[in-house]
Amino acid sequence: MSDNDVKQDVKQTVIGAIKAIRNGPRAMRLYLEICAKCGTCATACPVYYGRAERRYNPAERTDIIRRLYRRYCTLSGRLFGPLADAKDLDPAELEEWRKIFYECTGCRRCALFCPFGIDHSVITRKGRAILDKLGLTPETMKKVVDISLRTGNTDGAGEAAFRAAIEFLEEEMEEEHGVPIKIPIDRVGAEYFYVPPSGDMLVNPEATMGIAKVFHVLGMADHWTMSSKFFDGANYGLFTGNDEHMKTDNRAYVEETKRRKARVMLMGECGHAHRIMKMMMEKSRWWGDLPFEITNCMQWTAEHIQAGRLELDKSKNPQPVTYHDPCNFGRSCGITEEPRIILQASCADFREMYPNRAENWCCGGGGLSAMDDIHQFRMEISGRKKLEQILATGATNVATACSNCKHQLTQLMEYHQQQIEVGGVHDMLSRAILVGGKAAERKEYT
C-alpha cells in the first residue's frame, strides 16, 4: 500500500468510529450535540488550572471529536462546514491526538460544574478508543495493558512473588502484635473475596495489613480469602478506551469470585476498579446475574467501626492527616463518608482539605499515573492545584484510597520536596487498631 492509501485507511477508521457514535449511548450523543462554549469546564479542570492554555481547555479537547461529529453526523455541519464549527480530519493531526487525549486525567470534575452536565472524560475516552483502534495508544499505557492481560495484574507479578509478599506481611503483623494474623489464599467457600489493587500488595502493603487485622479482630479470619492469581482490580482498559480489554480483564475477576464461591466481592482501595465493578459491570449487567454482591472495603470497615466492633488508639497517629477523595470514589461512586469514619477513628488530628468530597480536585494523575513519559506534565501542570490544596491543610500525611492517586501524590511530594507522607486509609487504621487490646508496636514507618 502506498502512503496515501494508508492515510485514507486511517481516515476511514476514524470516520467510521465517529459515525458509530450515532448508534451509541444517548449521553454521549448529547455531549457532542450540546455545548454553549461558556468556559465553565475550564474553571473546574485541574489541568487548565495548572496552565491556562487552549489545548488544556476541556471544551477544546472535546471539540476535536465534536468537529468531526458535526461534519459527518449533523445536517448543519455538512451544509455549512467551518461556519457551523465542523471540520474534516487531517490524518496528520493524529500524532497530536496522542498527546492531547492523554492530557486529561478523566477526573470528571468538569461534568459536575457544567450547566449541561457534559462529561468531557467520556469524550476523552472516545478519543483514546479511536487511537487504540489505530494502534496509537502511547507505549507506556500499551505496556501496562499487555502485562495486565498476560499476568492478571498490572505489576506483572507471578504467584511466587505474591506468596512471598503475603508471607512478608504476615511476619510483619506478627512482629507488630505478637500474635499470628493470617491472610488466607485461594480458599474456596470463604465469604469475602478481597480484590485490592496490586499496588496495595507490592508497593504500599499496609492497607492489606489493615484489612487482615480487621478480619482478625472480628474473629472472621476464616471468612475471607485472596487469590494468588487474581489480586489486582486495576483495569487499564478503562484508561485506553478499549472496551474489549476492559471486559476481558473484568471477566477474569468475576469468574474467580464465582470459583471462590464467595458471597461478597470486597473491593480494595482502588477507585477505578471499584467503579468498573459497581457502576459499570454490575449496573449494566455485563455478565448477567451475579451470585455475589460487591462492596468496598472502606464501607465494610466503616460499618464495623460504627457498630463499635473495632477498637482504635488514635494516639498512634498523632500527626495531622488529611484525606484526598479519589475522583472515582468521591465523584463517581459517592463513597465519601466511609473513609472519613475510618480516618477520624484512627487519627488524632484529621483535617479536611477544601473543596472536598464530590468537589475535590483531582490528584493530577488518574489513569495517567503510570505514564512516566509525561512525568513533568503531571508534576507541574495537572498536579499543581492538588499540591496547593494539600499544603493549605498543613497536614504531614495524606491518606487516599487509590493506587493511582498514591503514586501521583508520592511523586508530587518528592518532586516539590515536601516532607509529606502519602498512604492509604487502611494504613492509618493498621497503625491504630487494637489487636487483643494492644496497638501495633512499631517505631518507624517507611
- Binding region for another protein (CB under 8 A): 25-27, 30, 34-39, 42-43, 48, 52, 54, 57, 59-60, 63, 75-76, 82-85, 115-117, 119
- Please return the burial class of 289, using the count of CB atoms within 10 Å of its CB with bins 0-12, 13-18 and 19+: exposed
CB of 101 to another protein, least distance (A): 17
Closest CB to another protein among 48 and 323? 48
Closest CB to another protein among 16 and 24? 24
CB of 128 to another protein, least distance (A): 20
CB of 192 to another protein, least distance (A): 31
CB of 367 to another protein, least distance (A): 21
Closest CB to another protein among 67 and 324? 67
Return the ∠ at Cα 259 (arms to 232 and 248), rounded to 5°. Answer: 50
Closest CB to another protein among 110 and 166? 110
CB of 131 to another protein, least distance (A): 22
Closest CB to another protein among 28 and 201? 28
CB of 59 to another protein, least distance (A): 4
Closest CB to another protein among 35 and 432? 35
Q: Which residues contact 235 (CB under 8 A, 6 or more apart)?
A: 148, 246, 249, 250, 272, 273, 276
